[in-house]
Amino acid sequence: MPYDENQDRPTGPRRSRWALAAVAVLVPAVALAGWLVLPGGDDGGDGGRGAAGEPSAPADVTTGPADKPGDPEATSPSPSGTSAGGPLAGRTVVVDPGHNPGNFRHTSEINKLVDIGTNRKECDTTGTASNAGHREADFTLDVSRRLRTLLEKQGARVEFTQDGDRPFGPCVDERARFGNNADADAVISVHADGSAVGNRGFHIILPGRVKSGGADTYRIVGPSRELGERVAEAFRSATGTEPSNYIGGGTGLDVRDDLGGLNLSTVPKVFVECGNMRDPKDAALLASASWRQRAAQGMADGIAGYLRR
């Protein structure tokens, strides 16, 4: 089984959350050489967060190979600010970096169940990791920051559900509310899968038709599918990778009705599974800074195409 809220289908042997946390922290020193470190944050803030004063994420957690000096394509960008008058001026995009690098320190909090409309599920999870210790939570932040820069250059207003600035979470229901409250024109949740070796490629998760409790996706199913189709096409073109060979029947699209982040959304939203971290070939791509930049470009192109339609 994969490891996180957006991956509940049996696609390979499941490892315990505790084992995954150990992989993410106890990486051999030789594997750390030349890798980029992203510090965890703790502002002791609002709902669902741990108490102030919790330790920040350890400085020995790996995120991927260090970017090459002087290579602008492979440089992790910082927020660039919105470009006035760009083609996406007046549009709001919410980017949801999957998981949180600090989740493994807060297992009791992220294991708490939250209402997703159809049932109750875990608040969040640690996410997966590659065999080399490249964590999904670090991957999603890096790609999301690159995506933000690309969208802001086109004039979009970009908001994050989290930016490594909180000790854990947010929970999946809070992530959905964030996009709703922002009245976002599009929401994209960035992830990487944790499936079996040999399972390769990307896929886009679309909301299914759900109307139960606080969940009602009927108004967003159509526009979310259009957003997902645009992103899938652009992602394939930008990265040169193929749609998943194990989910979606070769279309790169997968409809789900069991995900809190989609069920509770009232604005167009999709999840992007960029590849399978447990497959060595996919993991090598996900660890490449230049490939991550292309992945961000593909998402940006797909979102822009959708918003300019």
The count of other CB atoms within 10 Å of the CB of residue 222 is: 10
CA 247 to chain centroid, in Å, comes to 18
Give catalytic status of residue 5 as yes or no: no
d(CA 170, CA 182): 16
Question: Which CA distances in Å does 299 have to 64, 111, 217, 236, 250?
Answer: 20, 30, 22, 10, 19
Are 171 and 98 spatial neighbours (Cβ–Cβ below 8 Å)? no
Give the max Cα distance, the chain: 52
d(CA 273, CA 132): 19
* Range 249-256, long-range pairs (CB < 8 A, 24+ positions): 252/201, 252/202, 252/203, 252/204, 253/203, 253/204, 253/206, 253/225, 253/228, 253/229, 254/203, 254/204, 254/205, 254/206, 255/205, 255/206, 255/207, 255/208, 256/6, 256/205, 256/206, 256/207, 256/208
CA 50 to chain centroid, in Å, comes to 22
- Which tokens is 170 given? 């947010």
Of 163, 111, 122, 137, the C-alpha closest to 259 is 122
List the catalytic residue out of 136, 152, 159, 273: 273
- Which residues are identified as catalytic? 273
